[in-house]
Chain A
């Protein structure tokens, strides 16, 4: 055999790689629309080429940072070479990734070097959404925004300015400082279409939100109620669940759709959509009837068992069979297995945004865990531990007397105002109810695709005097904005530190790997400059480094610590030792099976089952969900060459029998229609879904033509979904959506 030892690729591939990245930079200047206002300044281009070519191999450096391709924020290890990012891998010392990243994390360079990036501040010239822009200097853009903000404030009061921000941005505390200093109550994250009801259920039951703290790895019996762990890949949960399965844990998975997670389960239960709580209540019925609950745990750590016992009697497996489409014997068997296999755990769900009773569904699952006593023990759900970071104390904030426009806390007393219900904002803007909202600042979030009912959102945007988008890519929201401010990516900036809550808390820091490209800036600088211009500069009387160091101070370290260390670890033991000696933050100091908090606020203190809406005749329930290579409505994954290549378009999943009835063939484009919208999508005729529901991936159907890879591909699920809210926890009931499906013509 011909054996050679020459290393052809070590040279060849590398120079090709560098070249292709630089070509990407070069062609960026030639594109039209947002990404092409003026030419790329050659002096910057030269700066990038020179070191890339001249730098010797030894110039390689390693920087530890934090991924930002999804909300999980895994630790990353970035290798740079001469000012260019060469590779991104996991930080082996970070507890979630343990050195391994998902596809999105691996694709980060395609955001950094995406030629579609917003390169300069832009001010709209034509109609909203028509794509006319003029390139502005930072001073021009910021002065313009400040002028408008002052005008709105003068005319309508500060409450007339709203802010939206993605909830896991590391800048959250500083953007909230900006909001409070400005004097508006209207701050929103995207949790209203995410897990807000779960947060409220956790608070009402456990006394605090426990995040994704489920110890899969040590569990012997795992139940997932639509928690599609393998396709919403938090690297830590994926590794833990996979390890549990390979070491013999039994996985029971309930979902109307046969997801990847379903395909790895021992038992897949295609439950009737929206009836999970009936299944859970019937399990409780069996466990209590058979006396299989953990009596000692119930007596010591819970409140309201007698009430629960009285309440649960009617919820028999036979009752549940008629509601869930799951045979009573199967529910009975699973209940007994769950109560007798130790440790058994049921994930309390992550995206409860399907139905109006989401808070009670999550509560039901939490109570199920409490019945078998598996809380804060190995293989159970647990209270994650954190550490407290420091702060730079702000001057006193102005008093905010105006109410929020989303009915928090008036109509929704339990929904945290730190998130609010963003899906209710468009209606508030349109109806000027309870008062006009005229300014909206959207910081790296894409409500135009992420929130329900796009037509309504555009209508609301039209009523604004000012819409600002601060983003990396020209998102749909940015496309409709008046001003777009280019932020730099997570590879081009330092950020406030992140506490990684878990069995033993850790702290990580996002650190800058390369210089910001184009005229992009750090959002800290952007908010600070804006603050100065609207008279609240005194709240930002420091530099980002000062803030980072102030936050790290209680740990006895500063920013430099992370130059030598990839992570800070606390000395708290990771052992889970039950609840003894733990303070539970409910009014009874116990886990509340019967929730005093719900009772006090006029809600049902026990998780009564409320049936989902029935599909009108001839219509199908529209379900939506995720795939492992994309994140929500974030252009960073959809307009990403590597991920777009894998999944560039969504399809409508239709059960084979249903498709046969409708005369629909696999792969053809079909119409989806309801009272809100109508659109075409490719049919995926499959055995992997119930006949009474159809499914499409969320996040497609982008409107911004400057997202050239994803523009015009697929259909937006949110076009068909109405905005609404679970009356307790506030999550938008997004799966109470029905559509007609038909062929062309």
Chain B
């Protein structure tokens, strides 16, 4: 069984509760963000658009960061969570180059940091802190089957609402 994040772009309201819950849970230093909400602006007045995207590590099934890491500091748990072991990290930054989303970031100590999906909470049967606090249900962390179920449900709802 593996876990993945779900992010629902329709629901996200840019409230940044997820970012701060992550900081609080993992004591992430200022300047580094394991989860980050960004805004994409578009359109032309009076028809502008704003889209918000909350991203963290994707916990890829074939993580390029693991392949790139020369010291095997990054590894994957049986449940799919990708973790970097800071005690092995030499701070070369290859993982960040290899990651299509540049997820691993340098900490002020020169070593890499990234989202660890709050695996201590997962081990207790809890959701990651970001998911736990998300007020709109824009985030979920679950098995691919469960995520597919949520997505299909939501898509169906939309279809019913506006055929």
Contact = CB atoms under 8 A, between A and B. Distances in A.
Nearest to B29: A20
Nearest to B160: A248
Contacts of A260: 13-14, 50, 52
A4 B75 contact: yes
Contact of A12 (B45, B86, B137): B86
B143 interface: no
Contacts of A106: 17, 20-21, 23-24, 133
A7 B75 CA distance: 12
Interface string A631-652: 0000000000111011000000
A657 B43 CA distance: 13
Interface in A252-289: 258, 260-261, 263-264, 268, 270
A739 to B, nearest CB: 20
Nearest to B138: A242
Contact of B45 (A246, A248, A264, A688): A688
A2 B65 CA distance: 13
B94 to A, nearest CB: 16
Contact of B77 (A3, A100, A101, A104): A3
Contacts of A655: 45
Contacts of A258: 45, 48, 50
Given A4-B75, A641-B30, A103 B17 contact: yes
Contact of A687 (B21, B45, B77, B162): B45
Given A100-B133, A260-B13, A645-B31, A246 B157 contact: yes
Given A13-B26, A230-B13, A629-B16, A101 B45 contact: no
Contacts of A8: 83, 85-87
Interface stretch (A25-33, A233-241, A332-340, A400-408): A233-241
Contacts of B87: 8, 12
Nearest to A21: B27
Nearest to B49: A263
B109 to A, nearest CB: 10
Contact of B135 (A16, A242, A641, A646): A242
A671 B156 CA distance: 51
A731 to B, nearest CB: 27
Interface stretch (A83-91, A120-128, A474-482): A83-91
B20 A2 contact: no
B77 A642 contact: no
A708 interface: no
A735 interface: no
Given A8-B85, A10-B120, A629-B16, A2 B66 contact: yes
A52 interface: no
A89 B14 contact: no
A4 to B, nearest CB: 5
A109 interface: yes
A628 B15 contact: yes
Contacts of B49: 263
Contacts of A90: 133
A102 B15 contact: yes
B152 to A, nearest CB: 14
Contacts of B11: 242, 246
Given A89-B132, A89-B133, A691 B77 contact: no
A100 B13 CA distance: 14
Nearest to B15: A628
A107 B133 CA distance: 12
Nearest to A247: B157
Nearest to B25: A87
A132 B121 CA distance: 48
A3 B76 contact: yes
Contacts, number: 156
Interface in B94-141: 116, 119-120, 123, 129, 132-137
Contacts of A105: 17
Given A90-B133, A101-B133, A688-B41, A248 B75 contact: no
A506 to B, nearest CB: 19
B17 A102 contact: yes
Contacts of B46: 268, 270
B78 A13 contact: no
A646 B17 CA distance: 11
- B41, B48, B86 interface centre (most CB from chain A within 10 Å): B48
A99 B76 CA distance: 30
B75 A2 contact: yes
Interface in B3-18: 10-11, 13-17
Contacts of A246: 10-11, 137, 154, 157
A664 to B, nearest CB: 16
- B13, B23, B29, B66 interface centre (most CB from chain A within 10 Å): B13
Given A2-B75, A89-B132, A645-B30, A107 B20 contact: yes
Contact of B48 (A9, A20, A235, A687): A687
Contacts of A13: 26-27
B18 to A, nearest CB: 8
Contacts of A17: 27
Contacts of B25: 87
Nearest to A99: B132
Nearest to B87: A8
- B17, B75, B116, B120 interface centre (most CB from chain A within 10 Å): B17
Contacts of A212: none
Contacts of A104: 20
Contact of A688 (B50, B116, B135): B50
Contacts of B135: 100, 102, 233, 235, 238-239, 242
A405 B98 CA distance: 67
A689 interface: yes
A5 B83 CA distance: 10
A302 interface: no
Nearest to B24: A106
B1 interface: no
A184 interface: no
- A103, A264, A643 interface centre (most CB from chain B within 10 Å): A103
Interface in A216-256: 230-231, 233, 235, 238-239, 242, 246-248
A239 B44 contact: no
Contacts of B13: 230, 238, 242, 260-261, 264, 628
Contacts of A88: 24
- B119, B120, B136 interface centre (most CB from chain A within 10 Å): B136
Contacts of B15: 102-103, 230-231, 233, 238, 628-629
A275 to B, nearest CB: 16
B77 A5 contact: yes
A640 to B, nearest CB: 9
B72 to A, nearest CB: 6
A9 B116 contact: yes
A636 to B, nearest CB: 13
A686 interface: yes
A42 interface: no
A54 interface: no
Interface in A602-652: 628-629, 641-643, 645-646
Given A231-B15, A238-B136, A688-B48, 8 more contacts: A7-B123, A103-B16, A104-B20, A230-B14, A248-B157, A260-B13, A260-B14, A642-B20
15 contacts: A4-B85, A17-B27, A87-B24, A100-B135, A103-B16, A106-B21, A107-B23, A248-B157, A258-B45, A260-B13, A261-B13, A270-B45, A628-B14, A646-B20, A689-B45
The 3 closest A-B pairs by CB, nearest first: A17-B27, A248-B161, A106-B20
Interface of A: 1-5, 7-10, 12-13, 16-17, 20, 87-90, 99-107, 109, 230-231, 233, 235, 238-239, 242, 246-248, 258, 260-261, 263-264, 268, 270, 628-629, 641-643, 645-646, 655-657, 686-691
